[in-house]
Chain A
Amino acid sequence: MLSSKGALFSKRPGNVTSKSHMWGGAKVSSDSRSVFRCQAVVPAVKPNASAPAVTPEVAKDLYYDMVLGREFEDMCAQMYYRGKMFGFVHLYCGQEAVSSGIIRALESRDYACSTYRDHVHALSKGVPAREVMAELFGKKTGCCRGQGGSMHMFSAKNNFLGGYAFIGEGIPIGLGAAFQSKYKCDVLGEGNDYAVTASFFGDGTCNVGQFYECLNMASLYKLPHIFVVENNKWAIGMSHARATSSSSGDQDPLIYRKGPAFGMPGVLVDGMDVLKVREVALEAIARARSGGGPTLIECETYRFRGHSLADPDELRSKDEKAAYAARDPIPQLKQYMLETSMATESDIKDIERRVMEVVDDSVKFADESPKPERGQLLENVFPDPRGFGIADGGRYRYELPGFSSGTAAVS
């Protein structure tokens, strides 16, 4: 965080740009065809600033959230190998600064939309760890009654719009929530400002057509939407440099530069530094909320584990992994809090202990929860169960015996 702390900003691996705090200038001029320039700015916190970037409460909340994310994901790995969860499980370890930095800056009325790497986004948005773990165990007490699984975490009460298995397919959903926010305010006359939506996705998604379709519509309609690219350099085994062409005359394929190309500010931020991510998030949220339109935030980050628990992760070099491990966001924040006296060692141990309690409790809860009954099979296919149609004899199928026990023939 503090630029004088040289150790935190040590050499980056070869394929990482050295310009790690570039802003796509947020110049919103009165001219409708604003030109968004990219310019370097100084880090948010000056070395000898008297006022810290965040309050101790915020710093501790961020620390708790990041540690929760890390411990939860590590527990998932354990549980997977013990046969408690199956299928495709994509862990977020290493990227916590992005989730905590952005989502903890949102209000509860704001929305977050994710991908298959959604456990930690859900936790940051306030979905209880119990509900996420039970969902992973496939129990009926999971946030989606065991019907979604790892890649489909939804929580309406927390305005968490979902995990999505196909990359890119969540971004239009997030955009739809942003459209609804604007509609609610401008058409229905409810509220004075917009609820904001943040959609998260990776570097690989930045080559999917839906991404570009959404960049265009977000700008065109000036929707209160934030595009958050978690550029961890790898899409399973495809490195970003091998999958994406450089554009705008750049040497490297810089994703944030696509923002100005579509009429919105684009900003690149050190995604291993939660305070920097938060600073960038606050600006983007303020812009969206006041009607200034969307922002594209590219977070340079890294996943410490493979793409999923099934990925042998053989293509990434040991050096690259080591370099990012040295930039682990959690020890960074811990060190910052201790140095600025925002927290004591004992406070930090307290936070970590609380996290372990929550995580252990979530496993116990998930373990002890009942499995879904057969009767759940047909319940949530249609909100209006008349959608299953009319059976021979004149009754709607949902009225037949066997429907609520999941044994009725519905077609």
Chain B
Amino acid sequence: MLLQRHGSSAKCMSSRHSRQSLMSSRRGSLSVTRSQKKQIMMWEALREAIDEEMEKDPTVCVMGEDVGHYGGSYKVTFGLYKKYGDMRVLDTPICENGFMGMGIGAAMTGLRPIVEGMNMGFLLLAFNQISNNCGMLHYTSGGQYKTPVVIRGPGGVGRQLGAEHSQRLESYFQSIPGVQLVACSTVANSKALLKSAIRSENPIIFFEHVLLYNIKGDAGGPDVYQSLESAELVREGTDVSIFTYSRMRYVVMQAAQELEKKGYNPEVIDLISLKPFDMDTISKSVRKTRRVIIVEECMKTGGIGASLSAVINESLFNDLDHEVVRLSSQDVPTAYAYELEAATIVQPSQVVEAVERVVGSKLAYV
């Protein structure tokens, strides 16, 4: 399972700067307040989260491939083994189903493991344990055992990583009863959410994105936590509600910049909680704008957007002036070639076009 390491993907991004690079525009569209504090990268923020929680609670431990001596393939556990030892930062052999189950058994008997999938896609091999034991065991045991694990790792489409390293597992995991799915997107929310996930009694599947580890921003202190069930309002607006998550937040915000110039006023909400949906935030937004676009990176079929669209149709039908529009990845394996990869996932221009279509021409409102 050779994986393009964090270092090389960072180089990759800067060398493609001349192409339509979302990274540069992403920095521009980040609503980061100009603070005097030194900004950190997301991988550092995630690392701080794990470090702080491990320090607070000696039952918190990490398990995964290359999390220890190697420091994590995206540096999220860099150097932690020196501080906490080889048992608390456990380098596992390559056996996802085995070590996932081991983490779950350890959680049942009193520990709080953070189990890393080196790439979320590898967790397909751990599906048995995630579905049957992680998700269902609290119920089948009649509430006797709980599994407070955090299952985390990088997923999503990177830079030409090929089909198998570009998977979005949130759509596969969403039907598992008994788990929560959380997707972080900014430096601040990645740290606060991961801390909350580690503290949660529920099993949390925590989605990070391969291309977001190097984004910079401000992170909160050791006592800053964030609700795992609440969505984030990214941009307040009136024309249309755009629901998104993970890296697509930046794609949407890039589109929002262009839309502003054209006189549109989209409301952008980052779902954060892919399961369960924050129906309070979502409903308020839909009632205000009466139009919904979902922008996601997972496949259209059976994706997070499919579930969200169904829920909105069922519970907010009379509040809609337009059918719910989903912008999702094509139902194709992610090709290696750059052009085909770009055509598989949602681009900012598609978001702009969708808003124009859903909201209608703005000339009449000017």
Give the B-binding residues of A (Cβ under 8 A).
Answer: 111, 113, 142-149, 152, 154-156, 161-162, 164-166, 169, 171-184, 186-188, 209-210, 213-214, 216-217, 220-221, 379-384, 386-394, 396-397, 410-411
**A172 and B105 contacting across the interface, CB-CB below 8 Å:** yes
B339 within 8 A of A: no
Q: From residue 208 to 254 of chain B, which have CB atoms closer than 8 A to chain A? A: 228-230
B352 within 8 A of A: no
**B98 and A187 contacting across the interface, CB-CB below 8 Å:** no
Contacting A380 at CB < 8 Å: which of B98, B104, B139?
B139
**B142 and A391 contacting across the interface, CB-CB below 8 Å:** no
| Whole-angstrom distance between the Cβ of A191 and the nearest chain B Cβ | 13
- In the complex where A166-B132, A389-B279 touch, is A216 in contact with B93 (Cβ < 8 A)? yes
Give the A-binding residues of B (Cβ under 8 A).
Answer: 58-59, 61, 85, 87-88, 90, 92-93, 95, 97-111, 128-129, 132-133, 137-146, 148, 177-178, 180, 200-202, 228-230, 273, 275-283, 311, 315
**A176 and B104 contacting across the interface, CB-CB below 8 Å:** yes
A147 to B141: give the CA distance in the assembly, Å: 7
**A210 and B111 contacting across the interface, CB-CB below 8 Å:** no
- In the complex where A172-B104, A213-B93 touch, is A389 in contact with B202 (Cβ < 8 A)? no
A155 to B143: give the CA distance in the assembly, Å: 10
Contacting A180 at CB < 8 Å: which of B92, B111, B148?
B111
**A180 and B106 contacting across the interface, CB-CB below 8 Å:** yes
Q: Which of A176, A181, A213, A410 has the largest count of B CB atoms less than 10 A from its CB?
A: A176
A83 to B102: give the CA distance in the assembly, Å: 38
Contacting A176 at CB < 8 Å: which of B105, B141, B283?
B105
**A381 and B139 contacting across the interface, CB-CB below 8 Å:** yes
| Whole-angstrom distance between the Cβ of B183 and the nearest chain A Cβ | 14
Q: Report B-chain residues with C-beta under 8 Å of the C-beta of A186.
A: 87
Contacting A381 at CB < 8 Å: which of B178, B200, B277, B279?
B178
A175 to B98: give the CA distance in the assembly, Å: 9
Q: Which of B59, B139, B315 has the largest count of A CB atoms less than 10 A from its CB?
A: B139
A220 to B99: give the CA distance in the assembly, Å: 13
Q: Report B-chain residues with C-beta under 8 Å of the C-beta of A178.
A: 105
**B142 and A144 contacting across the interface, CB-CB below 8 Å:** yes
A187 to B83: give the CA distance in the assembly, Å: 13
Contacting A220 at CB < 8 Å: which of B88, B93, B143?
B93
- In the complex where A213-B95, A217-B92 touch, is A176 in contact with B146 (Cβ < 8 A)? no
Contacting A384 at CB < 8 Å: which of B110, B129, B141, B200?
B200
Q: Report B-chain residues with C-beta under 8 Å of the C-beta of A164.
A: 132-133
Q: Report B-chain residues with C-beta under 8 Å of the C-beta of A166.
A: 128, 132
| Whole-angstrom distance between the Cβ of B15 and the nearest chain A Cβ | 39
Given A161-B105, A214-B98, A390-B229, 13 additional A-B pairs, CB 8 A: A162-B137, A162-B141, A173-B104, A173-B133, A175-B105, A180-B111, A209-B98, A210-B98, A217-B102, A383-B138, A383-B146, A389-B276, A394-B280
- In the complex where A144-B144, A217-B92 touch, is A411 in contact with B276 (Cβ < 8 A)? yes
**A386 and B229 contacting across the interface, CB-CB below 8 Å:** yes
A164 to B137: give the CA distance in the assembly, Å: 10
In the complex, residue of chain A having the shortest beta-carbon distance to the beta carbon of B139:
A380
**A180 and B138 contacting across the interface, CB-CB below 8 Å:** no
A292 to B142: give the CA distance in the assembly, Å: 35
**A148 and B141 contacting across the interface, CB-CB below 8 Å:** yes
30 A-B pairs (CB sep. < 8 Å)? A142-B142, A145-B142, A148-B141, A162-B141, A169-B133, A173-B101, A175-B102, A175-B105, A176-B108, A177-B108, A180-B111, A187-B58, A187-B87, A210-B97, A210-B128, A213-B93, A213-B98, A214-B98, A382-B180, A383-B138, A383-B143, A384-B200, A384-B201, A384-B202, A387-B202, A389-B275, A389-B278, A390-B229, A393-B280, A411-B311
**A111 and B97 contacting across the interface, CB-CB below 8 Å:** no
- In the complex where A214-B98, A411-B276 touch, is A156 in contact with B144 (Cβ < 8 A)? yes
**B201 and A383 contacting across the interface, CB-CB below 8 Å:** yes
**B279 and A380 contacting across the interface, CB-CB below 8 Å:** no
A178 to B109: give the CA distance in the assembly, Å: 9
A143 to B145: give the CA distance in the assembly, Å: 12
A147 to B99: give the CA distance in the assembly, Å: 27
A145 to B276: give the CA distance in the assembly, Å: 26
A241 to B256: give the CA distance in the assembly, Å: 66
- In the complex where A174-B105, A380-B143 touch, is A187 in contact with B280 (Cβ < 8 A)? no
**A187 and B85 contacting across the interface, CB-CB below 8 Å:** yes
| Whole-angstrom distance between the Cβ of B192 and the nearest chain A Cβ | 16
**A182 and B87 contacting across the interface, CB-CB below 8 Å:** yes
A176 to B105: give the CA distance in the assembly, Å: 4
Contacting B138 at CB < 8 Å: which of A149, A172, A210, A381?
A381
A396 to B279: give the CA distance in the assembly, Å: 10
Q: Report A-chain residues with C-beta under 8 Å of the C-beta of B140.
A: 144, 147-149, 152, 154, 162
- In the complex where A144-B141, A162-B141, A382-B138 touch, is A177 in contact with B106 (Cβ < 8 A)? yes
| Whole-angstrom distance between the Cβ of A122 and the nearest chain B Cβ | 12
Contacting B101 at CB < 8 Å: which of A146, A210, A394?
A210
**B276 and A397 contacting across the interface, CB-CB below 8 Å:** yes
In the complex, residue of chain A having the shortest beta-carbon distance to the beta carbon of B275:
A389
A156 to B108: give the CA distance in the assembly, Å: 9
A169 to B129: give the CA distance in the assembly, Å: 7
| Whole-angstrom distance between the Cβ of B287 and the nearest chain A Cβ | 9
Q: Report B-chain residues with C-beta under 8 Å of the C-beta of A379.
A: 143
Q: Report B-chain residues with C-beta under 8 Å of the C-beta of A180.
A: 105-106, 109-111
Contacting B279 at CB < 8 Å: which of A154, A176, A216, A392?
A392
The 6 closest A-B pairs by CB, nearest first: A176-B105, A172-B101, A389-B276, A213-B98, A144-B142, A213-B95
Contacting B143 at CB < 8 Å: which of A145, A172, A174, A182?
A145
Q: Report B-chain residues with C-beta under 8 Å of the C-beta of A152.
A: 140-141
A172 to B105: give the CA distance in the assembly, Å: 7
A210 to B95: give the CA distance in the assembly, Å: 8
A381 to B141: give the CA distance in the assembly, Å: 10
Q: Report B-chain residues with C-beta under 8 Å of the C-beta of A165.
A: 132
